[in-house]
């Protein structure tokens, strides 16, 4: 199964909608397992069906988390916003990001964030307080040109592209979507860590603890368990900034 097939499988497992009208965008952020802030170590998968019935798929390097500047200097006393995993249907629109340039902005509905309140450089997804509302969690670029090295002040919770050319391509795709289906976009965020933990829990619950111990003697099962557990701590493979694949 290719990368796109895996992404669609996870979306279906979670009950999230997949859009299949020609050139209607599926915009999916995948948050990596890293808890250290200030890196563009997440991915945005943008895919859609073409008129021929095949899928076109792009992968961009982004951050789904705030930079260390805003973790140390939160805008709100409750802490810095981290977008919670979920599917935010028709929440996003093409509009001006902070009145400066066109991006996808939170203009059509509320989102849920987790407030990281302890002002360190470690992202706390599980200890903060959830809030639902209008927080300006936009999808935009870092620098006007080129590639940003660190997140820093570019994200206070927004979903931010590392590379300006990647963002320009993304906005071109978004403009075509708007011309066909109107100015409304769905953004889906998948948390890699939560997904892996849920997979392990389901697997253990399904076969029983005793069976897990017995299964460790079988190389194939050991490999599956190793992959699930190691993904929580090891570095993921580096992918190219953007790639295009076509699947039918």
Q: Is 115 part of any domain?
A: yes
Using a pLDDT cut of 90, give the percent of the chain over it. 52
Residue 205 has a pLDDT of 54
Domain interval for residue 161: 3-195+240-247
Please say if the pLDDT value at position 119 is more than 90. Answer: no
pLDDT at 202 over 60: no
| Count of structural domains within the chain | 1
For residue 169, being part of any structural domain is answered with yes
Residues 80-105: tens digit of each pLDDT = 888 999 999 999 999 999 899 999 99
The per-residue pLDDT for range 172-185, each reduced to its tens digit, is: 999 999 999 999 99
**Selected residue with higher pLDDT from 226 and 22:** 22
Three-state secondary structure along the chain? CCHHHHHHHHHHHCCCCCCCCECCCEEEEEECCCCECCCCCEEEEEEEECCCCCEEEEEEEEECCCCHHHHHCCCCCCCEEEECCEEEEEEEEEEEECCCEEEEEECCCCEEEEEECCCCCECCCCCCEEEEECCCCCEEECCCCCECCCCHHHCCCCEEECEHHHHHHHHHHHHHHHHHHCCCEEEEEEEHHHHHHHHHHHHHHHHCHHHHHHHCCCHHHHHHHHHHHHCCCCCCCCCCCCCEEEEC
How confident is the model at residue 22, as a pLDDT? 98
Question: Would you say residue 68 lies in a domain?
Answer: yes
């Amino acid at each position: 199964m290719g990368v796109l097939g895996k992404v669609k499988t996870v979306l279906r497992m979670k009950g999230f909608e997949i859009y299949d009208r020609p050139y209607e965008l599926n915009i999916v952020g995948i948050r990596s397992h890293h808890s250290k802030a200030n890196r563009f170590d997440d991915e945005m998968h943008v895919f859609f069906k073409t008129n021929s019935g095949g899928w076109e798929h792009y992968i961009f390097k982004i951050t789904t988390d705030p930079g260390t500047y805003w973790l140390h200097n939160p805008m709100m006393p409750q802490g810095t916003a981290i977008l919670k995993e979920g599917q935010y249907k028709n929440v996003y629109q093409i509009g001006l990001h902070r009145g400066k340039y066109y991006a996808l902005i939170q203009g059509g509905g509320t989102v849920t964030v987790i407030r990281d309140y302890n002002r360190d450089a470690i992202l706390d997804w599980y200890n903060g307080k959830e809030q639902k509302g209008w927080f300006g969690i936009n999808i935009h670029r870092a620098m006007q040109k080129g590639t940003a090295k660190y997140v820093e002040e570019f994200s206070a919770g927004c979903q931010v592209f590392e590379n300006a050319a990647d963002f320009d391509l993304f906005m071109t795709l978004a403009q075509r979507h708007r011309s066909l289906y109107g100015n409304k976009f769905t953004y889906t965020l998948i948390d890699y860590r939560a997904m892996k933990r849920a997979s392990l829990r389901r697997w253990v619950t399904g076969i029983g603890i005793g069976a897990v111990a017995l299964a460790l003697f079988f190389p194939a099962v050991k490999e599956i368990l190793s992959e699930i557990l190691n993904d929580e701590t090891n570095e993921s493979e580096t992918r190219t900034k953007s790639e295009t694949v076509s699947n039918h």
